[in-house]
Amino acid sequence: GEDVEQSLFLSVREGDSSVINCTYTDSSSTYLYWYKQEPGAGLQLLTYIFSNMDMKQDQRLTVLLNKKDKHLSLRIADTQTGDSAIYFCAESRPGGYNKLIFGAGTRLAVHP
């Protein structure tokens, strides 16, 4: 099927690390993305990873890709209250016109 699956909710304490997980469906997907959506706003691209990479680090963000298991994760170090948002995983499939297939999103709540 077309489903990209994510857990719906994650709660962390401020200063801790957050790990958001995603399982995608198409092993031929070329790029995998993490988008952030704050209330009332559009989606903001956080980071992406090419399918031939295992890991990508960008400041507080670390993306891990397990292509064998079709599993993607986003780790946010030193999570802050401003990180509270919905995080969407998305896959881009080859042969199409940059079409993105999104998961349902993980709501991250950061508490003091």
Question: Distance (Å, rounded) from C-alpha 97 to C-alpha 106?
Answer: 26
Q: What are phi and psi of 81, to 5 degrees?
A: -60, -30
Name the residue nearer to other proteins (CB basis): 1 or 42. 42
| Binding interface with other proteins (CB under 8 A) | 4, 29-31, 35, 40-45, 48, 50, 88, 90, 92-94, 96-100, 102-105
Nearest distance in Å: CB 66, other proteins = 19
Question: Bridge-partner residues for 89, per DSSP?
Answer: 34
Q: What are phi and psi of 82, to 5 degrees?
A: -70, -10
CA nearest to 60, candidates 41, 34, 38 = 34
Name the residue nearer to other proteins (CB basis): 15 or 94. 94
Nearest distance in Å: CB 60, other proteins = 20
Name the residue nearer to other proteins (CB basis): 48 or 61. 48
What are the tokens at 21?
Answer: 């997980």
Name the residue nearer to other proteins (CB basis): 37 or 62. 37
Question: Distance (Å, rounded) from C-alpha 27 to C-alpha 24?
Answer: 8
Nearest distance in Å: CB 42, other proteins = 3
Nearest distance in Å: CB 74, other proteins = 15
